[in-house]
A and B are shown apart, each in its own frame.
Chain A
Amino acid sequence: MKKYTKYIKPYLFFFIVGPLMTLTEVFGEIWIPRLMSMIINTGVANHNIAYILRIGLVMLGACMLQVSTGVLGGYFSVRAAVGFTGDIRSELFAKVQQFSFADLDDFSTGSLVTRLTNDLQQIQQMVMMGLRMALRSPGMLVGGLIMALTLNRDLALILLVVIPLLGVSIFLIMKTAYPRFTRMQTALDALNNGIKETLTNVRVVKSFVREDHEQDKFEGLNGDLKQRTLDALNTVIFMMPVMTFFMNLTAIAVVWFGGNRIIAGRMLVGDLTAFITYVTQILMSLMMLAMIILQSARSMASFKRVSEVMDFVPDLDDRNAARKDKEVESGRIEFKDVSFSYPDENRIEDDETTSVAMPKAGTGMEARHGAGNDGEDFSVLQHISFTIEPGETVGILGATGCGKTSLVQLIPRLYDATEGAVLVDGVDVRDYSLENLREGVGMVLQYNTLFTGTIAENLRWGNEDATDEEVRKYAEYAQADGFVSSFKDGYDTMIEQGGTNVSGGQKQRLCIARALLKKPKILILDDSTSAVDTATERMINAAFANELKDTTKLIIAQRIGSVKDADRIIVMDDGKIVDIGKHNELIGRCHEYQEIYYSQVERKEEVPA
């Protein structure tokens, strides 16, 4: 909890004044029955109407005090809670900005979004309610007790018996109910996931005629949910009767003992009425208190999930970078005996009970190899060494899962090498500031995203200050200008979320243009032209060769045609480099290269290109 104090500080005034207002409100509420008893005891008993009216005015004043402090208390609590959670939200979002790729893989997208939205909302509710109710209920409890004691010490003894009894009963009910509610929630999640799955896979279900199978599954889950809901609800429905029982029992006891006292002339009848009111207030507030505790127990889960992100130490930062002011100048790349495996996946306990339906973002990595059955070395990359000179164009080929993506991701330090070193311009990438390094390395990711906004806005991600001419020029290099200009709104065409209103090939070309605008020294294309036709791809490559002579270019591709004209081609297989060379050399000597080649081009038949 300590770490949250700094978010309280800016709103300390509200955090203090809010509850104070509430206390004043409680005071008014407790005072009023006391005033009423004075009307009965003194006013009515002495037939003094002037006194009754006088006290009436005081009561009216107490009402006003109560409502004004109530309203103010509400206002201050809202200010405190909204400010507090707003700041945490901002801090949390900033934290995610510092996450490394590995960290992002660990928390799924859906879970991060839930934490930033639902969980924080939950916390805000709790803080707000806490500030309003946390002092209110105990205040009512204590105030009511004091009033009861001053009214009649002996009668108050009844409360001493009832309160612990009620407390224990509520505790027992909640203790039984809480785990049952958790189980109910689990059953609900299971049902929802089941439904979601069937809905998503409806074509599969239908084509394999598995409707009955799905129906059986569903009925099981549905029945389960009902049973668990009944279990949970059947416990909490005890709450009301038990509460009423104790309240009524107390009322009867008060009337009995109080009545006898009044008969004996040791107590005034007005006090009896006031006493019953206080007893009701006290027991009600006890009930409220229990509710608050239950509620906050639920919010604690949210607190925990938010804290998890707050406390998370990003596994990659540039705090210890030796040469923070160094910028990428020429674009020379060197891998020195580099090995790499993805960090252990389950670093975070991630229960996505409340998560919204959301596809996990493409992790951008191919098959994740962990330690296999038989303890072999399944590192994604194993002892990789090579050098690429500035301005060179290098293609990378290999089967799905062989480590191509992993390899290039080490250059802009999206992940850190497990062993060995990656050098850019002769300097270890870990010695650059992340900003300078990534400024110098442009990368088009395999699973790419365009953002809500116009095409021009999306392209300017590469360079905010780019002029319209510049934007157009680089779009031309990426062969995107043609189709963009054909749109009615041209560069002002809105891209919908996820870029669903442009075709796959168009999206890829826009992503390339966006990276080009950065004017990077090193440009990495990770399978970024897979949906672009080969003729257009050739034009993009030609533009690269003519306009980006000084840029080092790394191109991962599935199609041999995409990299055939590269200065060199790296052929990878199962985390290792099999061969490096030109197309003509590889076709002669490299078995894997030949296999890839012939899987795309029929043997003996060279297609005129």
Chain B
Amino acid sequence: MTRKEKLTASLERRYGKRVAAGGRGGGPGGNAARAKGKPANVGKTIRRLMVYVMREKARLAGAIICVLISTLSSLAASYMLRPIINTYIVPVDGSRGDPAGLFRALLVMFAVYMAGIVATYLQARLLTRVGQNSLQRMREDLFAHMQELPVKFYDTNTRGDLMSRFTNDIDNVGNMLSSTLISVFTAALTLAGTLALMLYTNVTLTIVTVLVVPLMLMAVRRIAGASAKYYAMQQSSLGQLNGYIEESITGQKVIKVFNHEGTTMEEFNILNEKLKAHQIKAQFFGGLMGPVMNCSTQLTYTLTSVVGGILCVARGFDIGGLTVFLNYSRQFGRPINEIAMTTTAIFSALAGAERVFAILDAEPETPDDADAYVPQPMRGDVVMEHVSFGYNEDHMVLKDINLYAHPGQKIAFVGSTGAGKTTVMNLLPRFYDVKKGSITIDGVEIRHYNRDELRKNIAMVLQESHLFSGTIMENIRYGRLDATDEEVIEAAKTASADAFIRHLPKGYQTEIDGDGSNLSQGQRQLLNIARASVSRAPVLILDEATSSVDTRTEQLINEGMHHLMDNRTTFVIAHRLSTVRDANAIMVLEHGEIIERGTHEDLLAMKGRYYELYTGKAELD
């Protein structure tokens, strides 16, 4: 094998399965291939969509009336040319033309045109409004519902997927509501009207025109088939190339450190050439539709001219009739084409709507009891008794966990990834509910708490530091919206964040961009700690909160938080054992069970798992 063949084979193995999401890159023929799945229950989805649209009944009715007026007026105006030519310009009876009559007739024509124009404008205006209002409501419903969904929902759906429902799917629905549906309606109306007028004008010519239609449809289907096939190939190689680009740009620094630029370039070029080859085919077939449609229009026009001319000579068909007919033959293909093009778009929009509704149908968090307990204030006595939990029924992640923590205590969890440390902490604010056993705070089962009150009293700092766009001040204040500037700064000091914040050119007013990518991981963690400490919640959970902070800074944080922890119940999860050394109790978790518990000294004396970890004889993954 040559080097190139080897690289190609390797690329195929690594990236072969990727497919670019349906983009906007295809030709018109690509529409068919782009439709993301078929809607499962068209009737039901349409009914639910109608609920949104029906709130705009008046506007919708107005729009439909406008569509009728504009379509009818354009049909009428186009037909008026026949009597005008036949009566005033070249009278059929052979008499001289009548300029005054022509003027009057044209005035009427102008009026008809104007009615159509005004109706077109009003219709567009009304429909835009209907579409946007429905979209706004749909987005709002979706967002509001998502706020109520349990954490479990977010753990089982990817963010990318949820985002695409907010963007692509809703966009598709919006387009459908505000333009696609109406254009199909208009097209159908125009088609019917034109056909009727054509038949009225001349039956023979109509037959000639209609004969071309099946020919055209056949060509369209052929092209669309080929186009869909090549479009799929293009999307697949585009997906591969994009995946490659994304990966190598993300890992660009490693590429440089390994002098790997050359090979990367070779591989890139192989994928790029492949994409080029597929693109040429896909785009070519996609672009065929235009010329072919054009050709069939011209063919109809030619046939109409010839047959119409012969009819004029042989059967005395009027010139005015021929003139309007020629116009009809030009516009006859358009609505057919439009309907063919938009049905796929409508189906993909319906499928999108279905995905949106699927979220709206997802079960929200169980509602609070009517007499839900509101702590005033919470002390923070946490008791877990025989707690078992699994994300699904047949596999228990936690087995028979028992613990008691009271205010002022620091309880630590140590264990490998997957041992269940984070899961324990997910139960406390009721992100998940226990399957067996009970958790009580201040003697009340947490199930019976008012959920919001429960969560307000538990502050969490998570391993993945999360920040919001806005200033640093706003980010810390997120912990308690009514905190004063002084309190925010105080909290930052507690978290040892004050020093680095002051070093920033804009201090506390520094804008966080994206997810805080202008700060280091360690700094982000410090802000998260500050946010939790400003909240004054009596229960504090630190889940790997200082994993990216050096040990000395960590110690400073610990000292800073010491007085803060005085009357709080603190739970700490850490990988680094130095973080948990001073805890009142350390729980060593393995496979969902607490296998050892006690203070640092107790555990060392026990010479068990903790001792092994501490002395480096075992590894935490």
Contacts and interface: CB of A to CB of B under 8 A. Distances in A.
A493 interface: no
B97 A259 contact: yes
A319 interface: no
A223 to B, nearest CB: 7
Interface string A233-249: 11001101100110011
Interface in B454-501: 455-456, 458-460, 462, 466-469, 478-479, 481, 500
Interface in A447-491: 448-449, 451-453, 457, 461-462, 464
Interface stretch (B188-196, B284-292, B435-443): B284-292
A578 B481 CA distance: 42
A175 interface: no
Contacts of B616: 533-535, 537-538, 561, 609
A609 B515 CA distance: 41
Given A116-B249, A207-B429, A252-B109, A74 B305 contact: no
A97 B261 contact: yes
A96 B89 contact: no
A63 B619 contact: no
A67 B292 contact: yes
B534 to A, nearest CB: 10
Nearest to A72: B291
Nearest to A104: B252
B459 A226 contact: no
A599 B552 contact: yes
Nearest to B97: A263
- Give the size category of B's interface with A: 35 or more
A70 B323 contact: no
Contacts of B581: 602
A94 interface: yes
B252 A96 contact: yes
A414 interface: yes
A260 B455 contact: no
Interface in B138-178: 139-140, 143-144, 146-148, 151, 154, 159-160, 162-163, 166-167
A299 B44 CA distance: 40
A124 B25 CA distance: 9
Contact of B614 (A263, A276, A359, A607): A607
A537 B618 CA distance: 11
Given A373-B503, A414-B253, A457-B10, A360 B478 contact: no
A214 B147 contact: yes
Contacts of B135: 226
Contacts of B118: 241
B88 interface: yes
Given A86-B275, A412-B257, A457-B10, A259 B102 contact: yes
A579 B502 CA distance: 27
Interface string A184-196: 0000000111011
A445 interface: yes
A400 B549 contact: yes
A59 to B, nearest CB: 4
Contact of A113 (B120, B245, B431, B613): B245
Contacts of A226: 132-133, 135-136
B254 A193 contact: no
A519 B85 CA distance: 92
Contact of B620 (A210, A218, A245, A533): A533
B357 interface: no
A608 interface: yes
Contact of B160 (A73, A357, A537): A357
A345 to B, nearest CB: 8
A192 to B, nearest CB: 6
Contacts of A32: 298, 301-302
A200 interface: yes
Interface stretch (A321-329, A362-370, A544-552): A362-370
Contacts of A56: 302, 305-306, 309
A145 interface: no
Interface stretch (B367-375, B399-407, B517-525): B517-525
Contact of A358 (B246, B276, B505): B246
B310 A52 contact: yes
Interface string A29-59: 1001101100110011001110011011001
Given A256-B106, A272-B323, A401 B305 contact: no
Contacts of A602: 581
A533 B620 CA distance: 7
B117 A70 contact: no
B392 interface: no
A209 interface: yes
B159 A533 contact: no
B522 A401 contact: yes
A97 B23 CA distance: 27
B468 A36 contact: no
A269 B89 contact: yes
B15 interface: yes
Contacts of B621: 503-506, 531
Contacts of B144: 215
Nearest to A60: B302
B163 A128 contact: no
A93 interface: yes
Contacts of B85: 259, 269, 272
A62 to B, nearest CB: 8
A366 B260 contact: no
A7 interface: no
Contacts of B246: 113, 358
Interface in B347-384: none
A373 B261 contact: no
Contacts of B554: 599
B274 to A, nearest CB: 10
B295 A230 contact: no
A361 B254 CA distance: 11
A63 B269 CA distance: 41
B567 interface: no
Contacts of A218: 140, 143
Nearest to B269: A90
Contacts of A442: 257
Interface stretch (B311-319, B337-345, B583-591): B311-319
Contact of A96 (B243, B249, B469): B249
A99 B249 CA distance: 11
B250 A449 contact: yes
Nearest to A197: B468
A99 B77 CA distance: 64
B462 A70 contact: no
A295 interface: no
A223 B136 contact: yes
A3 interface: no
A170 interface: no
A435 B262 CA distance: 11
Given A67-B291, A457-B10, A40 B520 contact: no
Given A39-B309, A203-B466, A412-B257, A67 B109 contact: no
B555 interface: yes
Interface stretch (B33-41, B50-58, B121-129, B203-211): B121-129
A558 interface: yes
Nearest to B124: A237
A588 interface: no
A56 B26 CA distance: 37
B280 interface: yes
B288 A66 contact: no
B43 interface: no
Interface stretch (A76-84, A332-340, A383-391): A76-84
Given A74-B284, A414-B253, A599-B555, 11 more contacts: A59-B302, A86-B276, A113-B245, A201-B468, A204-B460, A230-B128, A241-B124, A272-B85, A361-B253, A461-B254, A558-B551
11 contacts: A28-B298, A56-B305, A67-B292, A121-B25, A223-B136, A277-B330, A360-B514, A452-B243, A494-B14, A535-B618, A599-B555
Closest 8 CB pairs of A and B: A70-B291, A534-B616, A533-B619, A263-B97, A56-B306, A237-B124, A67-B295, A449-B251
